[in-house]
Amino acid sequence: MEYRKMGKTGLQLSTLSFGSWVTFHKQINDSIADELMGIAYDAGVNFFDNAEGYAAGESEKIMGRVLSNKKWDRTSIVLSSKAYFGWRGKANKPNQTGLSRKHLTEACHEALKRLETDYLDLYYCHRPDKTTPIEEVVQTMNTLIQQGKILYWGTSEWSGVEIMEAHRVAAAQHLIGPSVEQPQYNLFERAKMENEYLEIFKNVGMGTTIWSPLASGLLTGKYNDGIPEGSRFQLEGFEWLRDRWLMQDRIKKVQLLGAMAKALKVSTASLSIAWCIKNPNVSTAILGATNKAQLVDNLTAIDTAALLTAEMMEQIENIVETKPKLPEW
């Protein structure tokens, strides 16, 4: 495993990490989660990602039970949670969602309990909150750091303007600003990482913990001939994922990537993840797997990345044709 600094911080993250969105509780139980987290940890993965809203809090409970059972040295792992959506779904009441001081603080306490830990290494604002002053968000996160409940705070799917505003407020009030952003990034979703955030990487040095490097499984090639039984595109409540990704032109591109992967003697998934981590602004790519074979294959992306020459990267560009156009001025 390789490790990268999370932006300008001293924190080292494994280049490949393990997350629980969609999979935990919805697709896998405690036993499989235990097996997969063990495989990841033994391979050198040190970052495990979660959130209050994943499976209505059940995802964090599963991860907490696994961690309690594993008895790993807590200092050897990096653990995260996120707040914004709440965990009660349609039963959420006022103040049980968003980024108010009340919800951020209470969501942190609830995550600590579910994950069975004394502190969170990373705590994200899962989405921007237009109804809460950014000053309140920054102050609350800084307080949680001072209390030792979290070590670093970050954002997820914030705009570049919103991230810079958080840094402006933090600097003006001598507080700690966000250290990491969690954006979606894959061969079909590139605008934030390769355009909007470039000045942020340059000026404030944010780290990134990217999610969906396989475009919810599309970039594995398993949807080339339809939707397999038990896949996430079949899950109730995730129809929006299917509608977003399953487009015929994209499937044709995945098929071409598959041919390239075959020539390299690697899987399409490994090639796609490897492409993501070739970007030096990626601190870690979060993997999500439902079985041992998937995870073991995904972890080969470290070796696959070493095979990707500049010529091969250009070949991939010619296949997907998704590179964002940068301003000319």
Cα distance between residue 134 and residue 211, in whole Å: 24
Task: Measure the CA–CA gap between 19 and 212, rounded to whole angstroms.
Answer: 10
Using DSSP's 3-state secondary structure scheme, residue 90 falls into helix
What stretch of H or E contains 250? helix 248-264
Chain-centroid distance, C-alpha 4? 15
What's the rounded Cα separation, in Å, for the pair 248 and 313?
Answer: 23
3-class SS of residue 288: coil
Euclidean distance between CA atoms 308 and 248, whole angstroms: 26
Write out the H or E segment, with its range, that includes residue 151.
Answer: strand 150-155
Q: How many CA atoms lie less than 13 Å away from 151 in the CB half-sphere?
A: 15
Task: Give the residue numbers marked as catalytic.
Answer: 54
Phi-psi region of 230 (alpha: psi -120 to 50; beta: other; left: phi over 0): left
CB atoms under 10 Å from CB of 31, counted, come to 9
Q: Where are the beta strands (DSSP E) in 8-129?
A: 12-14, 16-19, 47-49, 78-83, 120-125
DSSP state letters, 209-247: EEB-TTGGGGGGTTTTTS--TTSGGGSTT-HHHHHHH--
CA 153-190-273 angle, 5° bins: 80
Tokens of 193: 């990482």
